[in-house]
Amino acid sequence: MSEADRDFLALQRALIGRYSLVRELGRGGMGVVYLARDVALDRPVAIKLLPPALATDDARRAQFLREARLAASLAHPNIVPVHAVESSAGLAWFAMGYVDGESLGARVRRLGPLPPGEVVHVIRQVAMALAHAHARGVVHRDVKPDNILIERETYRALVTDFGIAHRGGDRDPSDAAQAGTPHYVSPEQAEGAPGDARSDEYALGVTAWFALTGRHPHESADVVRLLVAKTSQDAPPLATAVTNVPPRFAAAIDRALARRPEARWPDLEQLAREFDSLQGPPDPPPVVRAFVRTALTLGDDIALSAGVALSSLGVMKILMMGSSFFDGVIARAVLGPTAGIALTFGAIRAAQAALAAIDVVRQGRTHDDVAHAVSREVREREIEETPAARAARRKEALTFGVLGAVKTGAALGLALTDFAAWIWLPAAVIAAIVPALTGMKVYRLLRPGVGPWPRWLQGRFGKAMFAMIGRVTPRPAAHQLAGTPTMLALGGQVSELFSQLPGEARSAMADVPAIVEQLQREAEALRARERSEATDARLATIATALETVRVELLSLQAGLRTIPDVTMALDRARQVSLWIDEVLTPLPEITPA
C-alpha cells in the first residue's frame, strides 16, 4: 500500500460524517490537496492536508496552520475562502472552496501567451485581492501564475496558497531566504530583504509578463545568475517583448517591475484602478459568450460562402460560353456542386448560430445579456489594437491582394485555353475560389474586428430575433445547482467498490447493494421534509454510515481490513436504516371506540 493511499485513508477516517474525500487533486512540498464533498452543506470543497510525515515537525506544522488562519482571516471574492482549520490526531488540514478550473500557469502552458484583454481581466482581479490582503496586514510573498486559479464557468481569478505569507508584526527574520519562487521574487528579496506589499506588486508584474509572453523578464537556468540579474538589471519594457499590448497597460506593468520599490505603484489598489479604463463590462455567462463568439464570425463566414458560390457560377458561365459542349457539361458538373457546397457551409454556420441563440434563451438569458457580451468582446479586441499591428496588417493585406490577383489571373487564363480537361478544370476551380478567399482575407486585415454585426446584435435586429426565439422556446422554471447529492455520490462509490471485490467477498456481503439503496431512499425522503436540526442530524447519520462502509471497503482492498471488519460496518449501517425507517413511518391513527 502506497504512502498516498495511507494518507487518504487516515484523513478520511478523521473526516467521517463531515467530509467525503473523492480523489487527490495535487501535491506539493507543503501539502496534498483532495477534492471532497461537504456532507452537511452538500457542496464540493478542497481539503489541504499536511502529510503526516511532516506534521510531526513542529515548525512545519505551525507554518501550515498559519497559512490556513491567515487565509481564513481574508474575505474577498478573488481569494479562495477557507471554511475550517483543524489539527488533531497527528493530522493538520484545512477545508477551502473548490475552484473548478485551472491555474493561470497551467492555462499559459496549455494555450501559450494569452490575449491582452484576458490578461487585463485576470491581473486586475488579482491586484484587488492582494490589495485587500495588504490592507489587513497580510503579504502573500509567493504570487505567481500557479497560485492564481481561473474558474472555468465564470473566468473569475482567485488567489490561493498563502503558505509563506506573513502578517505585519509577525515576521520571522530567519525565513527571508525561503520566501517566493526565484523568477517571481523582487530585487530586494533577492538581496535578502523580507518581502512586503511592494514585493507582491513586483511578482504580479512578472506574472502579467509571463501570461502575455510565455516567458519571464529575466531568464536563467542558474538561480544565482537569475537573482544577480534581478538586482543589477532593469526588466526590459513589456512593449519590446509583445507588440499588441495597449501602451497604458504596458506602462503600468513596467512601473510594477521597477527595481527600486519606491519607484513602483504606491499600492495595488492604484494599479487596479489604472486598469479600470481597460476593463470591459462584467463577464458574460458562458452560454452567452459562446453565442456571441459564434455570431460575430457568422457574417464573414456567410460572405465567404456567398463569394465562393458567386465566383463559381461566374467562372462556370464564362467557360460554357467559350468552350465546347462537352467541356461546358464538365464545368457545370464540377463548379455547380462547388457553389452548392459553399452555400451549404453558410447555411450550416447560420444554423449553428441559431441553435446557440436558442440555448441562450433556454438558460433564461435575455437580449440585454447578449448586448453586454458583445460590448465586452469588442472592447477586448480594441485593447489588442496598436499602431504597429495596424501597419503590419496593411502590409500583409497588400501582399495577399497582389498574390491573389496573380493567382486568379493565371488560373483563369489556363481555364480558357484549349488544354485538356484535367488541366483547365482544376484551374477553373482555383479561379472560382481564390477571389473570394483573397477578398475575405484582405477585408479582415484592413477591417479587423467584427464588422457591422455588433450593431445588429445590440440593436433592433437582435431584439427582434430574441423576441421571436423567446416566443417559441420554453424558459426554465428555475435554475438548479449542478452536482450529485452527497448520499447519491457516496452510494455510487460504495457500489463501485463492492463491484470490484472478488466473488467470494461479494458473496459474504451480498446485502451491500440493498443496504445502500435503502439508505439512499431514506435520505431522499428526509430531504423532502421541512428542514430542521433533527432532519439534518439524521442525514448526517446516514452519510456517516455510508462513509464508514466506503472506508472499510477501501481498507479491505488495501489489505488493512478483513471481511468481518466490513461486516461490522454493514451491521451498523443496517441499524441506522432501521432507525431512520421507524422515524419515517407514520404512527397509526387511533379511532375512538
In the chain, the amino acid numbered 406 is V
pTM: 0.59
| pLDDT band at residue 198 using 50, 70 and 90 as cut-offs | very high
The string of pLDDT tens digits covering residues 213-232 is 999 999 888 889 999 999 89
The string of pLDDT tens digits covering residues 99-146 is 888 999 999 998 899 888 788 889 999 999 999 999 988 888 889 999
Burial of 200 (0-12, 13-18, 19+ CB in 10 A): buried
Q: Flag the least confident range among 292-301, 527-536, 582-591.
A: 582-591
The more confident residue out of 457 and 435 is 457
* pLDDT at position 407 over 70: no
* pLDDT at position 81 over 80: yes
The pLDDT value given to residue 458: 75
Mean pLDDT of the chain: 76
The pLDDT value given to residue 555: 75
* pLDDT at position 522 over 90: no
Range 414-436 average pLDDT = 56
The string of pLDDT tens digits covering residues 29-61 is 677 889 998 887 778 899 998 888 788 888 888
The pLDDT value given to residue 265: 92
Gap between the terminal Cα atoms of the chain? 68
Q: For residue 180, what is its C-alpha cell?
A: 517566493
In the chain, the amino acid numbered 141 is R
The pLDDT value given to residue 201: 95
The pLDDT value given to residue 446: 61
The string of pLDDT tens digits covering residues 238-265 is 989 887 788 888 999 999 999 999 999 9
Cell 493565371 belongs to residue: 410
193 and 176 Cβ atoms separated by less than 8 Å? yes
Cross-strand bridge partners of residue 91: 88
Kindly state the DSSP code that residue 50 receives in the 8-state scheme.
Answer: E
Other CB atoms within 10 A of residue 248 CB: 12
Alpha-carbon distance 172 to 303, whole Å?
66
In the chain, the amino acid numbered 589 is E
61 and 92 Cβ atoms separated by less than 8 Å? yes
| pLDDT band at residue 584 using 50, 70 and 90 as cut-offs | low
Burial of 144 (0-12, 13-18, 19+ CB in 10 A): buried
The pLDDT value given to residue 362: 78
Q: Flag the least confident range among 31-45, 343-357, 372-386, 558-572.
A: 372-386
Residue 522 exposure: Cα atoms within 13 Å on the Cβ side:
30
Kindly state the DSSP code that residue 24 receives in the 8-state scheme.
Answer: E
Share of the chain above pLDDT 90, in %: 15
* pLDDT at position 381 over 80: no
Residue 585 backbone dihedrals phi, psi, to 5 degrees: -80, 120
What is the arrangement of strands in the sheet containing 157-159, beginning at the earlier edge strand? 101-103, 148-151, 157-159
Residue 386 exposure: Cα atoms within 13 Å on the Cβ side:
16
Alpha-carbon distance 289 to 356, whole Å?
10
Report for 20-24, 86-90, 375-379, 558-562: range of highest mean pLDDT: 20-24
The pLDDT value given to residue 359: 82
The pLDDT value given to residue 477: 42
The string of pLDDT tens digits covering residues 260-310 is 999 999 999 999 888 876 665 555 667 787 788 777 777 666 666 666 676
Q: For residue 95, what is its C-alpha cell?
A: 477545508
Alpha carbon dihedral 423, 428, 429, 435, in 10-degree steps, equals 140
Alpha-carbon distance 550 to 47, whole Å?
18
Cross-strand bridge partners of residue 34: 24, 47
Alpha-carbon distance 71 to 81, whole Å?
7
E strands within 370-429? Answer: none
Q: Which among 268, 303, 325 has a CA at the least distance from the CA of 128? A: 268
Alpha-carbon distance 13 to 561, whole Å?
13
Share of the chain above pLDDT 70, in %: 69
Report for 176-180, 194-198, 506-510: range of highest mean pLDDT: 194-198
The pLDDT value given to residue 56: 81
* pLDDT at position 364 over 60: yes
Q: Which among 156, 8, 190 has a CA at the least distance from the CA of 80? A: 156
82 and 67 Cβ atoms separated by less than 8 Å? no
Range 71-98 average pLDDT = 86
* pLDDT at position 181 over 80: yes
Alpha-carbon distance 482 to 38, whole Å?
15
The string of pLDDT tens digits covering residues 491-514 is 777 777 777 777 777 777 887 888
Residue 15 exposure: Cα atoms within 13 Å on the Cβ side:
34
The pLDDT value given to residue 483: 43
Alpha-carbon distance 124 to 275, whole Å?
6
Alpha-carbon distance 553 to 565, whole Å?
9
Residue 110 backbone dihedrals phi, psi, to 5 degrees: -85, -40
Cell 452538500 belongs to residue: 42
3-state SS, residue 154: coil
* Axis-axis angle for helices 325-362, 421-446 (nearest 10): 40
The pLDDT value given to residue 303: 66
Report the chain's C-alpha Rg in angstroms: 32
| pLDDT band at residue 173 using 50, 70 and 90 as cut-offs | very low
| pLDDT band at residue 177 using 50, 70 and 90 as cut-offs | very low
Alpha-carbon distance 125 to 79, whole Å?
10
